[in-house]
Structure 1
């Protein structure tokens, strides 16, 4: 079976390791029961493994199946042979072993997942060991894979793996004697530092987030890539606005605009204008916020459907992100009727594909219902958002839920509010 192309490589790149197992099992003409018996597992365990999709996997179960089927471990996110030690007879039953969480191997799994995620970039090179010009692309692909995993993986779990990746990128950059390659590697390091800032922010560690954003901006300037510098200034601006420093954020955004004179990809213009709209709304400037939002909408209309976003953007700017900017802006301007009078926007943000961002946006919608006196609807929207924050350990979401809760005071709150308070207490456990 050719592991480097076709459905198996596509599934590995997407992080769907169960699908890789299923394809290999079918190619070997084995049933699920036969594979289970060969690996000392149960048939239902193999079935669950194959249908898990893009999610967390039990490393020992995954490694057993991969080894028996002859699958390269990197293709199922396992770069370290120590991830799956041989089974011992005195362990629990096969089913219990498969279902028990394996937190000790989570860091190795996340690091290994990047090996699989970057296979397509690595195999397109003319040789297995990338040269100076190829190193940046390979490392950049790994960073993009981490950024995609942020949608549904706890920042705390990702942070250790990302720090290890950052050390690798820095080491490769330090050893490079080629100046153009060093500039490219500086841009890759900048992206990793920026993502580290985002993870720190998600963990409610504002001090570390600000430090990492500063490092990302410094490295972007060293790289000389003006589009990257503008992106990092916009990212720092977004953080400062959320931290309550709207004026500073607006200054950073204006600086980013000056950098992009003559080179303004539609996605960059749409994104920066949406950040500007939220910053003006946070500062209470309704007219400026509306102008910036209109400009963002016009730029978003120039982003062609299906067009790959230019690096350093990993995700495109679409109507969902435009709807998100509108909802956030109206919430900051304390105009709940505008949020609720646009049901399409409210519904759009509640189906946002990024779980953590969807939770934050849902809390803004909930604030609109709360301000309009719809207490039961507000908490019906806010409660699953809080649950997402608790499940993924997102400090930003949990703090957003606390801010939402402060919007209602009563000496005898209804049962659903008391239930919300109990959930908030779970954040301390």
Structure 2
């Protein structure tokens, strides 16, 4: 939601201040709110009213106890405080265009600064310039494109994919345009592989945003590109993504079929033990969602057997190397938790959280949510609420709608315990995240 008629915001002098400009550029809302209060006379209650936030949330941000990463909230702050979109990495806001129409001529003594959307070329002009440039594909260019994908995945793990998506989609369009003008068959193959990875990453960002139909269309495009170069392991990878999405949509039969198809595709290329372990675990998720105890346990055991066969000399694709012992352990715990076996699931997820890399905030939030849910299953309400608080802290840094939806589910599970102080407090904090 955005303000249609925002009130007076921060002064142009304060917005031009180097400290404020730097804070906006890095989306450091602790510093933005602090400067708004100290130099702009915007007390927390006024910031809260202008940005449609609660005063307590504003206070926590100023104190450095909360971060703001949700794009809807970022937009509300930009509109409420009247921070031009380009300062915080957004498109020009509606009120900017209206003001530009009312005041097309700069005031005396001021320089004319064109709006951000007039500085950048349009899509059609972008295409024309790309054709004129006629980018020449070299091994260096291909290595650079591959490195950028690895960087995108790292940033997606740390911060979520919503803000990343425009850059990924832009690079996908660029690679496809270069592919059309490339005659060398070896370079064509490499470019198709890169395009397939970018399409899968785009699909993943939509999946993480719970936009499942759009995610499916990009996953399907990734499959098409991978099929053109007969990259069987990557086809298996995309099918595993579709399988995971099917579990989220409660399409358990489809999830199982897709996971098995992924395993078949990987076997055709002699799938490495690590890849087969990951794919077996995706099948386990499908069976666990269907509450099929026997099949789920069999798939979990298969994943363990495959993983035990891993050899350091295996030629694993880069995109499956994330599936390490910690990931195997936590995924087994989640599958067992879905089956209702809290006693077996809890120590596995606890162990994984102790050893998990701290930079993957979305992963930590997701795994802490599952631990909290399992602790609640066995009646440890206060412990579950403490664990959910850890999940919430990581979730605010990750900006993942998928994790946020899980936390809302946890809030609903707390309904019978709302009279207790821990449950009431964490419920209120989760609700604030939604606002």
Is 1:231–1:312's contact at 8 Å kept on the other side of the alignment? no
Q: 1:368 aligns with which of 366, 374, 395?
A: 374
Aligned residue-pair number: 319
Evaluate the alpha carbon distance shift between residue 331 and residue 99 of structure 1 in structure 2; reply closer, same or farther with a 3 A threshold: same
> Is residue 142 of structure 1 aligned with residue 140 of structure 2?
no
Is 2:232–2:269's contact at 8 Å kept on the other side of the alignment? no
> Is residue 323 of structure 1 aligned with residue 329 of structure 2?
yes
Normalised by the length of structure 2, the TM-score is: 0.67
Evaluate the alpha carbon distance shift between residue 178 and residue 350 of structure 1 in structure 2; reply closer, same or farther with a 3 A threshold: same
1:299-318 equivalences under 5 Å are 299-304=306-311, 310-313=316-319, 315-318=321-324
Q: 1:277 aligns with which of 281, 284, 287?
A: 284
Distance, in Å, in 2 between the alignment partners of 1:322 and 1:132 is: 38
Residues 167-176 or 364-373, more deviating: 167-176
Distance, in Å, in 2 between the alignment partners of 1:329 and 1:314 is: 19
> Is residue 180 of structure 1 aligned with residue 186 of structure 2?
yes
Is 1:203–1:394's contact at 8 Å kept on the other side of the alignment? yes
Distance, in Å, in 1 between the alignment partners of 2:384 and 2:315 is: 35
1:213-252 equivalences under 5 Å are 213-252=219-258
Distance, in Å, in 1 between the alignment partners of 2:320 and 2:166 is: 21
Q: 1:263 aligns with which of 246, 262, 270?
A: 270
2:101 match:
none
> Is residue 384 of structure 1 aligned with residue 390 of structure 2?
yes
2:30 match:
none
> Is residue 352 of structure 1 aligned with residue 352 of structure 2?
no
Evaluate the alpha carbon distance shift between residue 239 and residue 344 of structure 1 in structure 2; reply closer, same or farther with a 3 A threshold: closer
Structure of greater relative contact order (alpha carbons < 8 Å, 6+ residues apart): 2
Evaluate the alpha carbon distance shift between residue 361 and residue 212 of structure 1 in structure 2; reply closer, same or farther with a 3 A threshold: same
Distance, in Å, in 2 between the alignment partners of 1:390 and 1:245 is: 29
Runs of 5+ in structure 1 lacking a partner? 1-87, 109-128
Is 1:201–1:209's contact at 8 Å kept on the other side of the alignment? yes
Shift of 1:133: 5.0
Shift of 1:381: 0.5
1:25-36 equivalences under 5 Å are none
Evaluate the alpha carbon distance shift between residue 422 and residue 301 of structure 1 in structure 2; reply closer, same or farther with a 3 A threshold: same
Distance, in Å, in 1 between the alignment partners of 2:317 and 2:24 is: 39
Deviations 1:303-360 (A, max 9, x none): 245x6863351534211011111111111101112223xx254231354222112211
2:111 match:
none
Distance, in Å, in 2 between the alignment partners of 1:270 and 1:314 is: 10
Distance, in Å, in 2 between the alignment partners of 1:229 and 1:167 is: 21
Evaluate the alpha carbon distance shift between residue 218 and residue 413 of structure 1 in structure 2; reply closer, same or farther with a 3 A threshold: farther
